[in-house]
Chain A
Amino acid sequence: MRCAFAALGFFAASGAATANEVDAGRAIFETGVGVTARIMGMDLPGTGFACRRCHGLDGAGGREGATVMPAIGWDKLAAPVASRPAYTPELFRKALETGISPSGRALDAAMPRYRLDGAQADALMAYLMALPAIERRGIEADAVHLGVLSTPRSQALASAYARALERALAERIPAHGIFGRTVKVRPVGVAAGTDLKTAVERSPVVAMIGLAPADSGLIADLLGDGMPVLFPLFPLAGTEDRDLAHGLMADWPAVADAIALRIKADGRSDIILAAGDAGDGRLAALAAALTRAGVSYRLGDDLSVGMASAVLLLPRPGAAGAWITRLRRDAVLYGMAEDFVALRVRLNGAGIRYRLAVQGTSVASMAATAQLGALEAHALMAADLLHGLLLSAGRDLRRATLLAGFRNLRRQAAPNLFLDYATHPSSGTAAVEFIVE
């Protein structure tokens, strides 16, 4: 269940709003869902005109050309300024609906007028009131806390990663910290019978680092609650929130593009895309990539792999690999290397030719360069990137200023590998190498 972790404490103290209200307000603020935007007399879905798009994730506003988007955190709205009196809840709703500010003047034409009911307006206000606390979650005057999530499924890996990250941060960041704040790794344990919400509430952090593959199913809940997920130990799907999620290995669309281009370069024309029952979004990414590359294909499953001379396979999770015997002798198998780790010996034994994309190419390159294990190399790179982000955020560290650093973040990770988030905002890289047999 989605919940605004930091806001809970705030509202429990004030009694002003419920966590559900804050959640509903966050949804309106971030996605515009459920409201109607009126622009130039036309009613349009609010999803194209969410508050966040112009006023920013933190509601701090900004400007584009001559158009000023003001700060809309409630602390700002509730304070009078030279150009207008303070907003009250009634004036706020009036401004949203009619475009008339408390001064009586019309808001800029670029600001849509919104149609929303009383409960939606209250929810949006509740979120704007909670926003300053959400922005400073895990940030103290003398420390900043980075989280490593640990669940019963991921405990051993998460624990090892937290230790590796601590060591790496100690190497990168001076003991006196950055801008007066020491950087601490805070394990966020989700014990059996405890929900994610409670765990994160108890251990506030500014971002969750190195999420384990076994916990990949929690990424939507974390992002949905506005928690940044940085440098997970698995590739991002590329469909996550662009501000809140950043990886450091090629995301699925990039891997899918690499595979499609490889098939095209190999001159394959008789292709079957066999997806088993993989329902995790990779099938869609591969199908889209093949279409982009102009490669025609047929859809199939692991029972029909013998029908083509080139097979692009997403095996069913836990499948034993009986399909190997169905492959044609002249077939070439394409796929993602991570899917075939346990089957590689059998593939080699059967004499199957394959081209397998390594999703973790960037981490493998870092590990080879640093002569470290993959986990240590990942943690070292994550620490380096976090160091850069904390420096660029400056003294006014907030969630938004931390994440803003990705716009210009570029680091050399290996002799021929740069992580460049201006070019690849999701993951910094599209580097994909193949294991060829």
Chain B
Amino acid sequence: MIPDRYFLIALLAAGLGGGGAMLMSRSAAVETVDGARAFPMEVIELPDIAVLDGEGRALSLRKEAVGDALLVVNFNFTTCETICPVGNVVMKAIDDRARTEVPMPVRLLSITIDPARDTPRKMRKAASEAGASAQWLWLTGAPADIDLLLGRFDARAADIQFHDPMFLIGDARSGRFRRIVGLPKPERVLEELRGFAS
């Protein structure tokens, strides 16, 4: 029974301390707006890994790819023709509007869930097709590193063909992130970003 499972998770989380906090919060109240589910705030520590941008440059995820900017992260793969392009439309709208509607620098990250196939060249091409600005990085990397990153974001997909659209909005300095599963309206994401900026 689901309530029992959540109760057990809560107990486990209490015993494990901070590491279980996310599990607890993920089972708590979820706000659904226009079919997209926004989860309570959670804490995510970015791993200290190198990622590859569309030019094939190795970047420190924490220092160079993210820095002090607020973050919007989504997950895709370049051969995805179904929901990913719709998710990219949401990212594009945020990319276009964040510069003028959020009083802090915002960095958008599209992270491949198929690092074995998605080379920097493919990511660059996909970024170009999506109309990404310089603030919207399309990242791939060593499969083990990307797997670690996806694990931190709880975004691993057993089968990449069956991944849910997911957006994480947050501030890597504090580690606080809002997770939205589904396709949020850009206004919703911009509102979250303004909340982090204030």
Contact = CB atoms under 8 A, between A and B. Distances in A.
Contact of A40 (B82, B121, B182, B186): B186
Given A42-B89, A64-B161, A65-B164, A109 B183 contact: yes
Interface residues of A, number: 21
Interface string B112-127: 0000000001000000
B85 A49 contact: yes
Interface in A48-83: 48-49, 53-54, 63-67, 69
Interface string A357-397: 00000000000000000000000000000000000000000
Contact of A109 (B36, B82, B93, B163): B36
B41 interface: no
B163 A64 contact: yes
Given A67-B164, A110-B183, A39 B89 contact: yes
Contacts, number: 56
A118 B186 CA distance: 31
A426 B157 CA distance: 26
Interface string A76-112: 0000000000000000000000000000001011101
Interface residues of B, number: 23
A40 B186 CA distance: 8
Given A53-B82, A108-B35, A109-B183, A40 B165 contact: no
Among A44, A67, A108, find the residue whose CB has the most chain B CB atoms closer than 10 A.
A67
A39 B86 contact: yes
B61 interface: no
Contacts of B185: 40-41
A288 to B, nearest CB: 11
Contacts of B182: 66, 109
Interface in B22-72: 34-36
Nearest to B185: A40
A329 interface: no
A40 B93 contact: yes
Contacts of A109: 34-36, 86, 182-183
Given A40-B186, A54-B83, A64 B34 contact: no
B165 A65 contact: yes
B89 A67 contact: no
Contacts of B21: none
Contacts of B157: 65
A42 B183 contact: no
A67 B83 contact: yes
B90 interface: yes
B121 A65 contact: no
B163 A65 contact: yes
A112 B86 contact: yes
B183 A64 contact: no
Given A39-B86, A66-B182, A110-B165, 14 more contacts: A39-B90, A42-B93, A53-B81, A63-B162, A64-B82, A64-B161, A64-B164, A65-B165, A108-B35, A109-B86, A110-B83, A110-B183, A112-B86, A292-B121
Interface of A: 39-42, 44, 48-49, 53-54, 63-67, 69, 106, 108-110, 112, 292
9 contacts: A44-B89, A53-B81, A54-B82, A54-B83, A64-B82, A66-B164, A109-B86, A109-B182, A109-B183
